[in-house]
Amino acid sequence: DAKTTQPTSMDCAEGRAANLPCNHSTISGNEYVYWYRQIHSQGPQYIIHGLKNNETNEMASLIITEDRKSSTLILPHATLRDTAVYYCIVRGANNNAGNMLTFGGGTRLMVKP
């Protein structure tokens, strides 16, 4: 699975959009981009995933560049409850270990009032 690079930390004002970048320049054609988040003292929570098209769900939007070498997770109206560590993960559809994910360090997002 391709490696990802994320900023260590980011701040966002409550009510504003939070844009979390992720670089995955070595991604291959059959690898998906997944985003999870982990709120303090809880297990990671799935947010969204995509292959090459932009995706949106009730939690967030995922924008993947045309060359697929980077992506941005957008939380349109951040709340204090969105304070968490956000993980960007690249994974192929065919994996020896099922749907196993390899987590990096993630981005610690702090939403401030």
Partner 1 sequence: DTGVSQDPRHKITKRGQNVTFRCDPISEHNRLYWYRQTLGQGPEFLTYFQNEAQLEKSRLLSDRFSAERPKGSFSTLEIQRTEQGDSAMYLCASSINTATGELFFGEGSRLTVL
CA 97 centroid distance within chain: 21
Region from 17-25, 45-53, 58-66, 71-79 binding partner 1, contact rule CB under 8 A: 45-53
List the one residue from 32, 52, 55, 63 that touches partner 1 (CB under 8 A).
Answer: 32
Could you say whether residue 44 binds partner 1 (CB under 8 A)? yes
Nearer to partner 1 by C-beta: 99 or 113?
99
| Closest by CA position to 87, among listed 70, 100, 109, 104 | 104
Q: What are phi and psi of 81, to 5 degrees?
A: -70, -10
Dist. CA 84–CA 67, nearest whole Å: 28
Residues of this chain that interact with partner 1 (CB under 8 A) are 32, 34, 36, 41-46, 49, 85, 87, 93-94, 96-106
